[in-house]
Amino acid sequence: YRIWEAQQVAYRPDVLTEDLFGEAGAHADDYRAPVRAIVDVPFSHGTLAVNSTEPHAFSEAHIADLQALAEALSEGVRRAQRGR
């Protein structure tokens, strides 16, 4: 919720070495391999969360692409709501 409220991308390149949100343990049971890198991109109705088992998996270009995807997702939600 904090990430969405701040409306800023939150990238954690390696949650095993720096776990700002206490996520390393939380994701351990959810996936077959440990999650190492997490990026959350806020959009109009939440956050687009992308994880990787590789540390430092996301470049600035990847994050820019995810931001563009989040913008498209926001627009899609808005259009769907107008179409109700």
Contact present, 14 and 55 (Cβ < 8 Å): yes
Residue 7 pLDDT = 83
Which residues 6+ apart lie within 8 Å of 66 measured at CB? 9, 39, 41, 48, 50, 58
Amino acid at 16: L
The alpha carbons of the chain give a radius of gyration, in whole angstroms, of 14
- Tell whether pTM > 0.85: no
Domain of 17? 2-82
CATH number for the domain spanning 24: value is: 3.30.450.40
Query: Could you give the number of structural domains in the chain?
Result: 1
Contact present, 43 and 71 (Cβ < 8 Å): yes
What does the pLDDT look like over 22-79, one tens digit per residue? 777 666 666 777 889 999 999 998 999 999 999 999 999 999 999 999 999 999 999 9
How many other CB atoms are there within 10 angstroms of residue 66's CB atom? 20
pLDDT band of residue 6 (cuts 50, 70, 90) is confident
